[in-house]
Amino acid sequence: MNTKDMYINLGIAPEIYDYGEKILEGLKARFEEIDLTAEYNQCKVITAMQQNRVNATHFAATTGYGYNDFGRDTLEKVYADCFHTEAALVRPQIACGTHALAIALSANLLPGDELLSPVGGPYDTLEEVIGIRNSPGSLKEYGVSYRQVNLNPDGTFDYENIKKAINTKTKLVTIQRSKGYQTRPSFSVKQIGELTSFVKNINPDLICMVDNCYGEFVETIEPSDLGADMVVGSLIKNPGGGLAPIGGYICGSQKCIERCSYRLSAPGLGKEVGANLGLLPSFYQGLFLAPTVVASALKGAVFAASIYENLGFKVVPSSTESRHDIIQAVELKSPAGMVAFCKGIQAAAPVDSYVTPEPWAMPGYDSEVIMAAGAFVQGSSIELSADGPIREPYAVYFQGGLTWYHAKLGILMSLQKMYEEKLIELN
């Protein structure tokens, strides 16, 4: 039995497989670029681990208070070195990316301060953290105001109005690297660096925080290399490499991270407490694998963009644009298209492949959301998944794939389901 037969056994029609192979013929150069970035980042991670003398004693489990947890403390030094920052907070007690962002914001904003987003509206789940949508415990409830400057129609920063928006109350500027549930381009590290420099030239005391979710190891540099005071993300996305079962990170200046640690635990306790509960081997090994896992996800994103663009769908980014995160947006023109696409991703999963995804009222979102994910770690966005709110422009957001071959199968299966529903015609 050859490889094509294996795909046919998995439910991929021969014409769908052949179509995918035709698209892949034109992607060799793109894949080589992705591999070069992964190789550079792999060296960066290994260097950080070697410089901090990572050894087997650092994998020991701790419980209770977690005092003198040398494995935990060393992991945070490794993260700080990878992101070229003074300090880091990397903990299983951080439940998700939104939690990490909430910690970073609430730790560094005081009553009377103002939060500025110069990149338009934030990701949906941050709306309640900020208080755009009222919620108990929001920044708004604690007297922190919020202001945003929308992007220009072409997706670039509106520098003129950003300058006008910065005032004596402005304390922290939050920059979302990835597109979230929008169809704007994601920002490159270079673009974020230029925005950070612009803000710092107006007021060097402003804190610049970057929501780095989905962007880690996509490029050879991170926003912290170009002036960001904090970079924040989730371990069940890129940096966990698919092995971390929970957790988040905040890397940045010593002052900012110290305040974050007091918010995570308690004033006076900070980084000294927080047992690792036996999770450190997966945290270390996940970080080690992250550059190559991210490369697999990027190959899947480029493949998806190429296939669906060739079929006449709008994709963001396009198949030829440079990549700045692992997310691929595809505008499928209808709710039926979104459902069919997600059914395909689910059917390709190693876990829960028999489940049929349906739209539902997911907490933290103002529209019904459809999600497809057969993951080993619940909600892991570095594993193969697709999701999106059921609203115009009916865009589904595809990401992940711990291996390129699994990403390839997922994309072909999404195409298969669209084909069966007569939502596409192969050209």
- Domains of the chain: which residue ranges? 3-42+288-420, 64-277
Distances (CA, A) of 216 to 22, 178, 352, 358: 30, 10, 28, 30
Distances (CA, A) of 100 to 40, 90, 91, 137: 27, 10, 10, 15
Of the candidates 282, 253, 309, the one whose C-alpha atom is nearest the C-alpha of residue 89 is 253
CATH code 3.40.50.300 for 64-277: no
Indicate the fold that domain 3-42+288-420 takes in CATH: Aspartate Aminotransferase, domain 1 (3.90.1150)
Please give, one letter per residue, the 3-state secondary structure of 123-183.
CCCHHHHHCCCCCCCCCHHHCCEEEECCCCCCCCCCHHHHHHHCCCCEEEEEEECCCCCCC
- 278 Cα distance to chain centroid: 25
Helices 404-420 and 335-347: crossing angle in degrees, nearest 10, is 140
Structure-block tokens of residue 249: 């990170």
Number of Cβ atoms within 10 Å of the Cβ of 169? 13
Beta-bridge partner residues of 87: 252
- 185 Cα distance to chain centroid: 14
Distances (CA, A) of 35 to 87, 162, 303: 29, 37, 15
Number of Cβ atoms within 10 Å of the Cβ of 55? 11
> Matching CATH topology for 3-42+288-420 and 64-277?
no
Q: Which helix (H) or strand (E) holds 395?
A: strand 395-399
Indicate the pTM of the whole model: 0.95
Q: Are 242 and 376 in contact (CB under 8 A)?
A: yes
Q: Are 347 and 373 in contact (CB under 8 A)?
A: no
pLDDT at residue 108, rounded to an integer: 98
Burial of residue 320 (CB within 10 Å: 0-12, 13-18, 19+) is exposed
pLDDT at residue 123, rounded to an integer: 85
- Pair type for strands 248-252 and 230-234: antiparallel
CA 383 to CA 402: how far, in whole Å? 5
Q: Which helix (H) or strand (E) holds 300?
A: helix 280-310
pLDDT at residue 364, rounded to an integer: 64
Question: For tokens 């865009």, what's the residue?
Answer: 395
In angstroms, how far is the first alpha carbon of the chain from the final one? 28
**Tell me, what DSSP letter sits at residue 13?**
-
pLDDT in tens for each of the 427 residues of the chain?
Answer: 899 999 999 999 999 999 999 999 999 999 999 999 999 999 999 999 999 999 999 999 999 999 999 999 999 999 999 999 999 999 999 999 999 999 999 999 999 999 999 999 998 889 999 999 999 999 999 999 999 999 999 999 999 999 999 999 999 999 999 987 777 889 999 999 999 999 999 999 999 999 999 999 999 999 999 999 999 999 999 999 999 999 999 999 999 999 999 999 999 999 999 999 999 999 999 999 999 999 999 999 999 999 999 999 999 999 999 999 999 999 999 999 999 999 999 999 999 999 999 988 877 667 889 999 999 999 899 999 999 999 999 999 999 999 999 999 999 999 999 999 999 988 7
Buried b (16+ CB within 10 A) or exposed e, 203-234: eeebbbbbbbbbbbbbbebbbbebbbbbbbbb
